[in-house]
Homo-oligomer: A and B are copies of this chain.
Amino acid sequence: METIGFIGTGHLGLPIVTNLLKAGYPVKVYNRTREKAAPLEALGAELVDSPAATAVRGGIVLTLVSDDKAVESIADNDFIQALGHGGIHVSLSTISPDTSRALAAHHQKQGVTYVAAPVFARPEAAAAKAGNAVVSGPGAAKERVKPLLEAGFAKNVFDLGEDPGSANVLKLIGNFMIAGAIEMMAEAFTLAEKNGVDPKVAYEMLTTTLFAAPIFRSYGAMVLERNFADSPAFGAALGLKDMNLVLQTATRSHTPMPLAQLVQSRLMTVVARNEKDTDWVALATGAREDAGLKG
């Protein structure tokens, strides 16, 4: 099997690389903080010292980092030249559609293909290969990349066409809707509690009938339990970054999104209170605290 490069071994990168190794792919791994990638060495990954060193000429490198700047700084000339003609850079990060488009044009000049394939999965779902991938970019490159996404984290792969920004647009929309669902349940459960109805009963009724979807079941349980600081899988600072990208994309396209503004504001409060490392589901505390409920 061909050697794969992987850059960024955070909460989500670790299970994905683990799955690729289990599937039999040799993987060259780079992480800015080398120690975080150490567990992967024991599983057979080769740790390297620079982004460019993950690349095999004409091969595939996947990147999964925290923001636009991190992807841009990885994809420098050394990196692109190391990938070389026929090489593919698969960007798994949640970044701006415009950044994806600019990166794609920049890669193309040197014969390298850029594919956007942002990850829909929390770490445990990625580990179980129960996540979802949305992918956009040139057709042939997507075909080559698809088995890797399936081996790494994805139960389903959705093709969003040739425009490299499209997959990022859909990823932002998905995260916006998750945040909206959290706010919705936070307001709903607070109204229940303040009017003598056990929020757990409301949760059970609604998430087994009208709202019987994974997002409402899993995030609803977190909203009820309020253990946001225990092993956060997706921190509030990252959630805020994503909502900033939603609003940036909305602003550039002249799309007023009042619900997106509301959830961004909730997340800003969580981060402003220096709880940036708590799970982003903590945005649900806003509605609760606004209503005078504590603990």
Contact check: which of B165, B194, B262 meets A195 at CB < 8 Å? B165
Determine how close the nearest CB of chain B comes to the CB of A36; give it in whole angstroms: 28
Chain B residue contacts of A204, Cβ below 8 A = 158
Contact with A292, one of B134, B246, B254 (Cβ below 8 angstroms) = B254
Stretch touching chain B among A49-57, A63-71, A82-90, A212-220: A212-220
Q: State in angstroms the CA–CA spacing of A173 and B169 once bound together.
A: 30
Stretch from A106-114, A182-190, A224-232 contacting the other chain: A182-190
Asked if B134 and A196 make an inter-chain contact with CB atoms under 8 angstroms apart, the answer reads: no
* Residues of chain B with a CB closer than 8 A to A205's CB: 132, 134, 158, 170, 174
Assuming the contacts A132-B209, A210-B178, A259-B183, asked whether A250 and B173 have C-beta atoms less than 8 A apart, the reply is no
Asked if residues B173 and A202 are in contact (CB atoms below 8 Å), the reply is: yes
CB distance from A194 to the nearest CB of B (A): 4
Determine which of B211, B259, B290 lies in contact with A177 in the assembled complex, contact meaning CB atoms within 8 Å.
B211
Q: Which of B187, B214, B259, B290 contacts A176 (CB 8 A)?
A: B187
The answer to whether B170 touches A180 (Cβ under 8 A) is no
Are B120 and A209 in contact, CB atoms less than 8 angstroms apart? yes
Contact A287 B256 (CB under 8 A): yes
Q: How far is the CA of A196 from the CA of B173 in the complex (A)?
A: 13
Contact A210 B174 (CB under 8 A): yes
* Besides the known contacts A169-B195, A173-B197, A187-B257, 18 further A-B residue pairs in the complex with CB atoms under 8 A apart: A134-B205, A158-B201, A158-B204, A169-B192, A170-B192, A170-B202, A176-B184, A176-B187, A176-B188, A177-B184, A178-B210, A180-B180, A184-B184, A191-B250, A191-B257, A194-B254, A211-B215, A256-B291
Interface residues of A (CB under 8 A from B): 97, 120, 132, 134, 156, 158, 160, 163, 165-166, 169-170, 172-174, 176-178, 180-181, 183-185, 187-188, 190-192, 194-197, 201-202, 204-206, 208-216, 246, 249-250, 253-260, 262, 287, 290-292
- Looking at A132, A176, A256, the one whose CB has the most chain B CB atoms below 10 A away is A256
The CA of A249 and the CA of B194, in the complex, are separated in Å by 10
Residues on the B chain within 8 Å of A192, using CB? 169-170, 173
> CA–CA, A250 to B254, complex, Å?
32
- A191–B173 Cα distance when bound, in Å, is 8
What's the Cα separation between A97 and B192 when bound, in Å? 11
CA gap between A215 and B212 in the complex, in Å: 9
